[in-house]
Structure 1
């Protein structure tokens, strides 16, 4: 997978998909590379008031450094390996984290709810996040991913992709990703960027650490789907019999 490094060519999502090491640069500069990855470097810099050439120099330097990214790079056509990676790391991982998070949040609410008034809002946000993501993952597992795998198999043989292909479900998933992104932003605000109070007990601190880790993992999850997997499916559609 290659990407021309130019401020007006391609989107940030495309660039990060080819060079996952840029995720660290995006985090440092608080740039949304997952749900907001459909913008060019020029658009991002114009919105921030940055010099695009200076930022582009930082991008090239980070790529040249050889730094490892937090997720692997997947080549065009690696639909099945990418789906397996998403299922193993993110779907299974989110479910484990949610279970631990609910237990910790319950303990913190019981012991510190009165001392930290924002705990009620935080508990509601956690509940909304879980109720958004768990059904979302099920729809991917039961509908979208099998459809994508059928389409991918169709490139090599007579397997027919269901009528309409995955475009419709992908549009729904993208919209749901935006909703999750808004919840993550709200979580960051309520927790002061996941910074626990100075008086917080070990369970309280562990809850904030898990929330931060979960937020980072969800953003990586959304990035791999929005900027890597979904474009793969769009490119493969024309090669599918009947597609």
Structure 2
């Protein structure tokens, strides 16, 4: 795709997931802020759009895989991927990362009180995310699966208890925005996950794990906000016209 200043940053990553790494390097939010144009995002961060475009155009695509071009995936496959990879990652890796963070806080919290703030934010994140994942799996994703079944069986669009699919989606997007802001605070408190000179191996490891968790969450939110949700809304609109 040809990238211009008017190209939405979410669309850039939707077309090529490998571009996410480049946007992350420039601290450009492509998940919660995926509807912003590249020009708007660069202006807000006071960075050169030409530098960003050059980096995007010359990014390494040697390992590009069609399997990771989520924009081409079916809705049911996207849901399966999100639940089995991203939801599983949050529920398992999140707990392990928090346990290590507790130990690091006990060892280094007195010297760096910001660690306790990071611990508080991360605990709140895991608590809210677990509730968020449940809502997706119990309410939203079955809603989308029913739309797919309706399309497949050439049936009339059923009445849903929550009305339009846009209602639960708007709730999920709002919660995504909250997590994006929370991890911006965690990144600031850790100086972009930079370990101090006195940091032990556990301290360095937990910062790496927190950064990995945030990057994984960015992809998770991107796939939902910029690909899954718009496709689901489009499908419901299509069925409503039949």
Tell whether the 8 Å contact from 2:14 to 2:71 is kept in structure 1 after alignment: no
**Matching residue of 1:87:** 83
1:44 aligns with one of 41, 45, 57: 41
Q: Does 1:23 align with 2:16?
A: no
Tell whether the 8 Å contact from 1:196 to 1:208 is kept in structure 2 after alignment: yes
Deviations 1:174-230 (A, max 9, x none): 010010001100110111111122222222222111111111111111111111111
Q: Does 1:33 align with 2:24?
A: no
Mark the runs of 5 or more structure 1 residues left unpaired by the alignment.
Answer: none
CA distance in structure 1 between the aligned counterparts of 2:2 and 2:237, rounded to whole angstroms? 24
CA distance in structure 1 between the aligned counterparts of 2:5 and 2:78, rounded to whole angstroms? 28
1:7 aligns with one of 5, 18, 27: 5
**Matching residue of 1:113:** 109
Bigger Cα displacement from structure 2, 48-57 vs 143-152? 48-57
**Matching residue of 1:149:** 145
Structure 1 residues 167 and 183, CA, compared in 2 at 3 Å: closer, same or farther? same
Structure 1 residues 206 and 18, CA, compared in 2 at 3 Å: closer, same or farther? same
Tell whether the 8 Å contact from 1:77 to 1:232 is kept in structure 2 after alignment: no
Structure 1 residues 155 and 75, CA, compared in 2 at 3 Å: closer, same or farther? farther
Q: Does 1:101 align with 2:101?
A: no
Deviation at 1:11, TM superposition (A): 1.8
Given the two structures, how large is their TM-score scaled by the length of structure 2?
Answer: 0.87
Alignment of 1:205-220 (within 5 A): 205-220=204-219
Given the two structures, how large is their TM-score scaled by the length of structure 1?
Answer: 0.87
Bigger Cα displacement from structure 2, 134-143 vs 106-115? 106-115
Mark the runs of 5 or more structure 2 residues left unpaired by the alignment.
Answer: none
Deviation at 1:31, TM superposition (A): 0.8
Deviation at 1:100, TM superposition (A): 0.6
**Matching residue of 2:222:** 223
Structure 1 residues 136 and 204, CA, compared in 2 at 3 Å: closer, same or farther? same
CA distance in structure 2 between the aligned counterparts of 1:120 and 1:83, rounded to whole angstroms? 35
Tell whether the 8 Å contact from 1:7 to 1:52 is kept in structure 2 after alignment: yes
Deviation at 1:146, TM superposition (A): 0.7
Tell whether the 8 Å contact from 1:151 to 1:165 is kept in structure 2 after alignment: no
SS at match of 1:33: coil
Deviations 1:19-72 (A, max 9, x none): 112112101221111111111223234434556566445434448x45538x81
Structure 1 residues 214 and 162, CA, compared in 2 at 3 Å: closer, same or farther? farther
